[in-house]
Structure 1
Amino acid sequence: MRPELEQDYTQYVTAKLPRLHRIAYQLVGDRHRADDAVQDALTTLYQKWVRVREVQNLDAYVHTMVVRAALNDRRRLWSKVLLWDRPPDVAREESASADVERQVLLRDALRALPDGQRTVVVLRFLCDLPVEEVAAVLGRSEGTVKSQTSHGIRALRRLLNVEDFFVLNGGAA
């Protein structure tokens, strides 16, 4: 690749990487697998950069690549292999703030959702995508997206015991 094209690619990826990783992490629930999904998508993007950089909505295109890479990762048989009987402990500060507590509660609740509902909820609310775009990214009908969004939100409310969640959130609705 020509140096100026490589520089464009590097600048684009550097600016978008945190958001792409956050999306992948919310979909797969594991930092390492999220890294793998983002890396797969960005490797493909690099290979196609000469043609792809002229796409009308490059952000949406790359976003779709990451979502599909994350979903493909979940379909691989090795992703279901557990090496331990429980996840390793993650080091945390003794004085966890309410923000951290809310994030952990929300992350755990998202992980408890079925794959389809979690994917739709993440795309709709974390990525702020409209129903039409989510349907296009996932190859589903808009009605299915709406239904899965509704079921996912209802399940999150139940899992989070909404009253407890709002108390942690400082009483904000």
Structure 2
Amino acid sequence: MDRYEGFREFVDARQQALMRSAFLLVGDAHLAEDLLQTVLARVARHWPKLARDGNPEAYARRCLVNESVSWRRRRWHAESPSARPPEPPPPASEERASLHRIALHRALARLAPRQRAVVVLRFYEDLSIQETAQLLGCSAGTVKSQTSQALARLRETAPELAGLLSDVDPAREEAHR
């Protein structure tokens, strides 16, 4: 029996979804590819046990989050940030969705790594609070507080996303009116 039996099928089936998550976690397509490759190598090393006993996708997602946080810590000392971010392109009516994506991408980049992971897992991957907590290895209360802090930070740093954030948390928006 092949040690990696089923691994290729797993990668073929889940690679695109994992790549989207990796991109949202690191904010750069090339870094996301590197991150996913690193994580898939780790999954391959543990494949016999994961295929037999575990949930390989949950393990891969947890590895994505942990590795992206680790990379972010390491890269902090190696980068020299610019004084001002580049200006967004001038708005046009057909570019509204693109501008929201750009603004969201920039706003996510300003979040702490764990807050960014919680936002990606909760609202992009549509995981429940319990699933997110299990994946991150923390309590449901931590997920809730990180989510609240992340949404508050997004409201503060990206007021142009207020419409999108009210879709995520309409009760809070009603309370602030």
Bin of the TM-score, shorter chain as denominator length: 0.7 to 0.9
Q: Does 1:81 align with 2:41?
A: no
Partner of 2:2: 2
Residues 91-102 of structure 1 correspond to what in structure 2 (within 5 A)?
A: 97-102=95-100
Task: Tell me how large the CA RMSD over aligned residues is.
Answer: 3.1
Tell me which moved more, 123-132 or 152-161. Answer: 152-161
Tell me what 2:167 maps to.
Answer: none
1:14-163 equivalences under 5 Å are 14-76=12-74, 78=75, 80-82=77-79, 85=82, 97-162=95-160
Find the aligned partners of 1:10 and 1:63 in 2 and give their Cα distance. Answer: 17
Taking the aligned partners of 2:148 and 2:3, their CA distance within structure 1 comes to 47
**Equivalent residues of 1:27, 1:70 under 8 A apart:** yes
How high is the sequence identity, in percent, across the aligned residues? 33
Q: Does the CA contact (< 8 Å) of 1:52 and 1:58 recur in 2?
A: yes
Change (3 A) 1:151 1:85: closer
Unaligned runs of 5+ in 1: 168-172
Give, in angstroms, the shift of residue 157 of structure 1: 2.4
Tell me the distance in 2 between the aligned counterparts of 1:84 and 1:113: 15
Q: Which runs of 5+ in 2 are unaligned?
A: 165-169, 171-177
Number of residue pairs matched by the alignment: 161
Shift, 1:40, TM fit = 1.1
Answer yes or no: is the 8 Å Cα contact 1:33–1:73 preserved in 2.
no
Q: TM-score, normalised by structure 1?
A: 0.76
Separation (CA, whole Å) in 1 of partners of 2:9 and 2:83:
39
